[in-house]
Amino acid sequence: MIKLLQISDCHIDDQALAMGVDTQTNLAKVVKKISNQKFEALLISGDLSNSGSLYSYKRLKEILLPIQQPTYVFGGNHDNIDQLTKEFSDNLFNHITLGKWGLITIDSVQLHKTSGLVTEEALETLNQTLKNSTADYIMVALHHPIVSMNSSWNDELSLENPQDLFRILNKHSKIRCVIFGHAHEAAHFYHEKFDIISCPSTALQFTQETRIGFNEYHLYNNGKINWTTQWI
């Protein structure tokens, strides 16, 4: 069994306050909790920074220091990929293997836009990566929601072309789960072939939830997946 932790939407900035909360202190609280756990890997699913400044990524790396396990990241709409790469080049990835599981990312970020879009090139890359994966089971991760959140969240800020993504995902029977952030809330949806899971923010939620949190996944060798949202 593989234990994977997911945090998302940290929104670290040059100043401690971002979006009206101390995102640095909040992330440090989450790091303190997860650094005491046993797990195989940590995933950060976008919006690591609020402004995309180089300092914010340096500060983020400092906050993450207590975590000794492998950490994997990809960008969100608030991130500056060039600055992110300067500090986290060893942590950026497209496809990794965790035991019998593969974790594959797809880029959904549009330049200067909050909503997401998966380009034809990104879709073809995803399709080929899925075809070439030797993993028995697969989890797909991106930044933007791919379904209506059925909440106060504005779905117009989610993925603009989810039907194009589902066209690819539905071809591959190894997929067990699709995970994302961006909406700053914990939610679960079930597609006919796989689970769809939203990760809360370490900064603040866009719902009535006042706590911060992260998702914990147990990936079993038989393809079963269990998860919980851990709140602080």
pLDDT in tens, 62-71: 999 999 999 9
- The per-residue pLDDT for range 191-216, each reduced to its tens digit, is 988 999 999 999 999 999 999 999 99
Q: What is the pLDDT of residue 38?
A: 96
Helix axes 120-132, 162-169, angle to 10 degrees: 20
- The per-residue pLDDT for range 12-41, each reduced to its tens digit, is 999 999 999 999 999 999 999 999 899 999
Residue 138, C-beta contacts closer than 8 angstroms, at least 6 positions apart: 101, 102, 103, 104, 130, 172, 174, 175, 176
Whichever domain contains 55, its CATH number is 3.60.21.10
Residue 21, C-beta contacts closer than 8 angstroms, at least 6 positions apart: 203, 204
Report the 10 Å Cβ neighbour count for 115.
18
Q: What is the pTM of this model?
A: 0.97
Total number of domains constituting the chain:
1
Q: What's the token pair of residue 149? A: 């959140």
Q: What is the per-residue burial (b if ≥16 Cβ within 10 Å, else e) of 161-185?
A: bbebbeebbeebebbbbbbbbbbbb
State the residue range of the domain holding 148: 2-231
Residue 65, C-beta contacts closer than 8 angstroms, at least 6 positions apart: none
Q: What is the mean pLDDT of residues 162-176?
A: 98
